[in-house]
Amino acid sequence: MKDRQALSFEVFPPKPEMDADLSGIGETISDLKTAAPDFISVTYGAGGNNRPRALDIAAVILSNGMNPLSHLTAVGYTSDDASRVLDSLEDLGVKNILALRGDIPKGQGMDEGAWKNYSRASGLVRYVSELGQFCVGGAAYPEGHQQSVSRAADMEFMREKEEAGASFFITQLFFDNDAFLSFRDDASAAVKSPIIAGIMPVFRARQIKRIVEISGCRVPEKLSSLLDLYLDDDASMQEAGIDYAARQISALWREGVNGIHIYTMNKSKGVLEILRRCGLRGRGSL
């Protein structure tokens, strides 16, 4: 990212009943390889049940000759727990970690012990970066986090994470490029590290409506009318969603973003079509 714009993907560990032997996600990963991504990130369940599978998926990414970025969440962990996971990741050959706080488990408050050693992501960022083995990144929120009190406070959280050792940020999804660009202007006054724009393509209207509710991101009028129009028509929504994401990514790329990170939802075909329309590949993009 020091030299050029990056292209990356996020995948998640599929439920064991959907893909017991990980052959489905293995196929997704080898499809995604054709876009020559700079890295592929693997989410980590704050609930804990998919953790071993997240490590297995990082191994699949490595065995495909690509660079995994393993997410690691702090909630529910002591630093000894984190240390054991980090040892396993290092043994696998993982060199990059996205250090996150994780969401508060349902029914618990910030002071109920779930946070153990880390009540903010910056604590975990510091712990991982002080090990000296990993390149560490953090999360950023162009339209604020559900717990945000102000833009100024959010900038302070980012500054704290950078000071603790985060050398890049990946944003939450957003559909409104102006929201991202105004956030980038403010953030570049607070931090020096590259900020990668997180883009979630719309493949199914109902799924995105749920995600929007949780994340609180703004849906521009143009997209919101498509979501309503194609609420029960997945094929048309997928076509319109691919078009929307391709336009969104192309415009951001022209704005000189440090990188584009696509939340693939493990759907490689749609993602590859988006990139074809943008004329984009990683590792030396157009």
Q: Which residues are catalytic?
A: 10
What is the C-alpha separation between 59 and 89, in angstroms, rounded?
A: 9
**54 three-state secondary structure:** helix
Q: Which of 53, 101, 184, 267 binds ligand FAD (CB under 6 A)?
A: 101
- Joined together, the tokens standing for residue 143 give 């339209």
Of 37 and 102, nearer to ligand FAD (C-beta) is 102
Asked if 46 is part of the footprint of ligand FAD (rule: CB under 6 A), the reply reads yes
Pairing of strands 96-100, 6-11: unpaired
CB of 140 to ligand FAD, least distance (A): 7
CB of 139 to ligand FAD, least distance (A): 3
- Joined together, the tokens standing for residue 27 give 């196929």
What is the C-alpha separation between 69 and 255, in angstroms, rounded?
A: 25
Q: Among candidates 201, 138, 212, 131, which has minimal Cα distance to 168?
A: 138
| Window contacting ligand FAD (CB under 6 A); options: 38-46, 176-184, 201-209, 240-248 | 38-46
Phi, psi at 78, each rounded to 5°: -95, 170
Are 228 and 214 in contact, with CB atoms under 8 Å apart? no
- Joined together, the tokens standing for residue 272 give 């590859």
Asked if 100 is part of the footprint of ligand FAD (rule: CB under 6 A), the reply reads yes
CB of 46 to ligand FAD, least distance (A): 3
In the range 140-159, which residues lie near ligand FAD by CB under 6 A? 141, 145, 147-149, 153-154, 157
**122 three-state secondary structure:** helix
Neighbouring C-alpha atoms within 13 Å toward the C-beta of 254: 8
What is the C-alpha separation between 205 and 211, in angstroms, rounded?
A: 10
| Window contacting ligand FAD (CB under 6 A); options: 42-50, 186-194, 252-260, 267-275 | 42-50
Q: Among candidates 223, 233, 230, 184, which has minimal Cα distance to 200?
A: 223
Of 153 and 229, nearer to ligand FAD (C-beta) is 153
CB of 240 to ligand FAD, least distance (A): 25
Phi, psi at 143, each rounded to 5°: -110, 20
Q: Which of 90, 103, 186, 243 binds ligand FAD (CB under 6 A)?
A: 103
Q: Which of 73, 96, 268, 285 binds ligand FAD (CB under 6 A)?
A: 73
DSSP state of 134: -
| Window contacting ligand FAD (CB under 6 A); options: 17-25, 43-51, 128-136, 272-280 | 43-51
Asked if 121 is part of the footprint of ligand FAD (rule: CB under 6 A), the reply reads yes
Q: Which of 55, 69, 86, 139 binds ligand FAD (CB under 6 A)?
A: 139
Note the residues at the interface with ligand FAD (CB under 6 A). Answer: 43-44, 46, 71, 73, 100-103, 120-121, 139, 141, 145, 147-149, 153-154, 157, 161, 170, 172, 198
